[in-house]
Amino acid sequence: MHAHCDSLHCFLPPDVLDHMIQSDDPTVREAAARTMATSAALRSRRVTIAGIPGFAGTPSPTGGKHRLVYDAQRRYENILDNLVRQEGQNPITDEAVNEAYDNAGITYDFYNEVFQRNSIDAAGMALISVVHYGENEDNAFWTGDKMLYCDGGIIFGSTTQDIDVAAHEFTHGVIQYESRLEYRNQSGALNESFADVFGVLAKQRFNNQTVEGANWWLGGDILAPALKERGVRGIRTLTKDKAYENDPLLGTDRQPKHMRDLYTGSADRGGVHINSGIPNHAFYLVATELGGYAWESAGAIWYKALRALSYYSNFEDAARMSYQIAGADYGINSREQQAVGEAWAAVGLAVEKVRVVA
């Protein structure tokens, strides 16, 4: 049995669910099956909304930051019946609600203050978060118009605990309104990679971390205690390392960091969560070469590339586009452009050295 998030944008890599479904432990198998079923149930709604992004968002009544947090009360239906906190209201006793509210605000501020973007759709779309979604499930989802947070089960604790999870899902929404990268094969891996990159950057900025001071992992704050005790640091990493190896629950991280190891099978919609490791590592190499704050020059180049790409764009397109943007914004053969070219070459994608007209 194979798990597929399909056109649903989910945080947990499907190959982990594939590994769990083969476990000798019936509790682990049941948890994996439950998460697979949830992904399937949400899939058709996500496909429909992705086709009409202009109609998906709820407008903000103020035209700016407007957060709405709902409590699904562990249900799968009627999840918007219980609005528990909205913009400007004080924290409540439910920490998941407060975390979802805070992280949506942190991510909004990141995009607004760094890239002058007004919410997911650039036009003040309300940020809808739903907490306590489903029963003991290990995932978080972007459905096309809202963010769903599960309480966790075996792999994760509450998925509201980590800024990079919120910013990852938020970024799937940004892509939906910009390049609309198809969620399969290399375009889908780019979709996942951009979500990872800006998830990491939002967290780094909030923590005021330089390139050298950041850890470049995703999902570390939401891991279940048993995984942390085994030394697992996150569910993905942008560094050259594997996030986990031979873990009894997770298996081994399948993300390649070079084109020679590109996954070419059909699982995970052609490897969208697997092959995202290649552009992820390219960004890491650019950021570490430039130093300082990664959301500044490296992040600015990647944000413009995200907006400039299109539905069927592949890794080669992303390499060429980011290289051209770096040349246009920072100068031909500038330190920034050289860093971008060298990073893509290091992951097996040599960028043609063309003259860029600003």
Q: Do the first three CATH levels of 9-177 and 185-346 match, i.e. the same topology? A: no
What is the pLDDT, as a whole number, of residue 297?
A: 98
Q: Residues 302-324: pLDDT tens digits?
A: 999 999 999 999 999 999 999 99
Give the per-residue pLDDT at 234: 96
Architecture, CATH, for domain 9-177 = Roll (3.10)
- Where is pLDDT greater, at 31 or 276? 276
CA 264 to chain centre: 22
> Which range, of 80-84, 100-104, 133-137, 337-341, averages the lowest pLDDT?
133-137
Whether 236 contacts 243, CB under 8 Å: yes
Residue 4: pLDDT band by 50, 70, 90 thresholds?
Answer: very low
pLDDT band, very low/low/confident/very high, at 144 (cuts 50, 70, 90): confident
- Look at residue 55 and tell me whether its pLDDT is greater than 70: no
pLDDT over threshold 90, residue 69:
yes
For 130, the 3-state DSSP assignment is: strand
% of the chain residues with pLDDT over 70: 90
Can 132 be counted among the known catalytic residues?
no
Contacts of 223 (CB under 8 A, 6+ apart): 155, 156, 157, 232, 234, 235
CATH code given to domain 185-346 = 1.10.390.10
Please tell me the chain's helix, strand, coil percentages from 3-state DSSP, rounded to the nearest 5.
45, 10, 45
Q: What angle do CA 169, 254, 302 make, to 5 degrees?
A: 45
Name residue 331's amino acid.
G
Tell me the pairing of strands 127-131 and 147-149.
Answer: parallel
Instruction: Please tell me which residue in 87, 99, 137, 169 is annotated as part of the active site.
Output: 169
| CA distance linking residue 311 with residue 93, whole number of Å | 43
* Statement: residue 164 has pLDDT above 80: yes
Contact indicator for 131, 94 with CB cutoff of 8 Å: yes
Percent of the chain with pLDDT over 90: 77
Q: Could you confirm whether 281 is annotated as catalytic?
A: no
The catalytic residue among 132, 168, 172, 273 is 273
Reply yes or no on whether the pLDDT at 2 is more than 80: no
Residue 20's pLDDT is: 82
Q: Give 29's pLDDT tier (boundaries 50, 70, 90).
A: confident
Distance in angstroms (rounded) separating the CA atoms of residues 37 and 30: 11
pLDDT of amino acid 19: 85
Three-class SS state of 190 = helix
pTM to 2 decimals?
0.92
Domain extents in the chain? 9-177, 185-346
